[in-house]
Structure 1
Amino acid sequence: MTSQQAHSGFISHLVELRNRLMRAIFAILIIFLSLVYFANDIYSFVATPLIEHLPANASMIATDVTAPFFAPFKLTLFAALFLAFPFVLHQVWGFIAPGLYQNEKRMLIPVLISSVLLFYSGIAFSYFVVFPIILGFFTSIGPEVMTLTPDISSYLDFVLKLFFAFGIAFEIPVFIMLLCWSGMTTTTDLKNKRPYIIVGAFVLAMFLTPPDVLSQTLLAIPMLALFELGLVLASFYSKKQSTEEMEQQE
């Protein structure tokens, strides 16, 4: 291959990368424009777990003049990002797939599908399980002389942080499978390091969640359960891969 051909191939890859990035951004923009009319309804839906636990005489407030507009607007933008996640991954797959072998494609397609499902599962888990527990606890422990009036912007930051934390944490089985598949580690090594991983899960949860023990524990425990699930799946894929390699050698 001449230097001119290599240069031409590099340029074509850059052009394809740009086109796929533009498609991903365009998809996010289309979803956002479709949802922006319902921005206030989306915020009301996300705020439901908090509103249900507020005292009868309490309500949410806005401490900034622009917050009633920008808080739902910001949430709608993040909702568009979350909903466009499968399409973005599809564009990533379309860019890297031509450089993969057939067996690598068979391995990565289920991983990509699983990563999407696990990401959405993490968000759903945080909304339907974690939020009611955390918000119910924190709205019930304050002194009776205090009236709880949460700020809409502060609550949005709290919600988005937990959504992101649980969405990423639920990808642990995928990360473990990829690490074992790439040869960077093995399931045996990970099992031997389990005590350190338990400590690391609580430390990581401390950085990903708001500064309270309850949120950290509610994130760390699913992370450890997903770690064990990742070990099981990685062992299954390792056995399957070894069997296929033996069949090819025969």
Structure 2
Amino acid sequence: MSRLHAELQRLYGLALPDGPAPGATPTPDPDPAAGQRLLVLGLSRPADWSRLQPLWQAVQDGLGLPAPAIVIDGQAGMQLWLALARPVPADQARAFVDGLRRRHLADVPDSRLTLRPGPDASAPPLTVPGGQVQPEQWSAFVAPDLAPMFSETPWLDLAPPPEGQAELLARLQPASAEVFERACATLAASLAGPVPMPGDAAQSVPAPAASGHAGAVRSPSSGAPALAAADQARQFLLVVMHDAQQPMALRIDAARALLGPPGR
């Protein structure tokens, strides 16, 4: 077994015929009854890394999961591949992927999204990076610092070296069952939590007091310390992000500010 195929099996449970490269030939999806170890969320062209990067970062910083692999697919665009150490039921995997979509890419049309497992059986067959998808266009795993280069042209002009691909995958780890369960709970709570309505913003975010302790405000009813300045800013950003009447660009900026600056 080649090193590349060994890494694909370690991370995703993909058992492929050995050879110089996996190729882009569709491979059978894992048996749903056996569970899922590979979760995919991608954007078709334009494969806008500026939209996928906050999701890639939030999976790690907000959910505590290992970094997903970044795939340039050529035809489908750019994808994030999240590896699980143990298979999970298809329904749980589907709910998690859909939760990520709702949390981070809700404004993207379904026609531009690649979800695996998807909401139905109409998703295209799984293809493994490393093969030719069009003349002089090859799919590949890519490093995070190179991902922005492929937003407009999500492919390589030459076949990716198998050893280089294996080295990229060797740096990644699958999420343990315990870590994934915590991530599922955290994501579900973020989706189910109360969201302040735009009309209630003045009540949800108290105005700073004219006097008092620095970094805190006083509740007008009880006089107890209320939200700190940082919490007020976060609450304001949440209001903007969820306000459908605000320009989409402003809502996206608010979401990015909530996720924080890229750290990886």
Which has the larger strand fraction?
2
Which has the larger helix fraction?
1
Tell me whether the two structures share a fold, i.e. TM-score over 0.5.
no
TM-score (norm. length: structure 1): 0.24
* Rg (Cα) greater in structure: 1
